[in-house]
Amino acid sequence: MYTGFLHLHDALRWLLLLSLIITLAKYLAGWLGNHSWKKSDNILGIVFTSLMDLQLLTGLVLYFFLSPITKIAFSDFGAAMKNADLRFYAVEHFAMMLIAVILVHIARAKSKKALKDVAKFRISSIFYLIAMVIMVAAIPWSRL
């Protein structure tokens, strides 16, 4: 079960990053080009946010129930903090990805409340860019 969830989490990473790149490119073009907000722009945000939530869900299942790495870390948290790999998965990856998910949800909420189309694009672009930087920093690239 662990292996299946880990493969799902890994595969979702690429789908999520692709969705982020497409959405961010569209939103930056909308912001810088002063375009009008369309239904397709809203759908892009919904798809990206939904993928983030699905990735979070699979990550939480791994983190709390299935991962042998976090089980080892939780068994002696003090020792885990002295081990860079254990600390990365037990604290850094989890915290940074949670922050990225929160930023994406803030972007969705703020963009829905924005009255002007350019503001919708600007708010989403800024929050998504920050979330992307955090996500890229928190991805375990050594596991590719």
Q: What is the pLDDT of residues 88-124, one digit of tens each?
A: 999 999 999 999 999 999 999 999 999 999 999 999 9
Which residues lie closer than 8 Å to 132 by C-beta, 6 or more apart? 20, 24, 100
Angle, CA of 52, 56 and 60, to the nearest 5°: 175
- The rounded distance, in Å, linking the Cα atoms of 78 and 91 is 12
Task: Please state whether 35 falls in left (phi above 0), alpha (psi between -120 and 50) or beta.
Answer: beta
Confidence of residue 144 (pLDDT cuts 50, 70, 90): low
φ, ψ dihedrals at 38, nearest 5°: -115, 170
pTM: 0.94
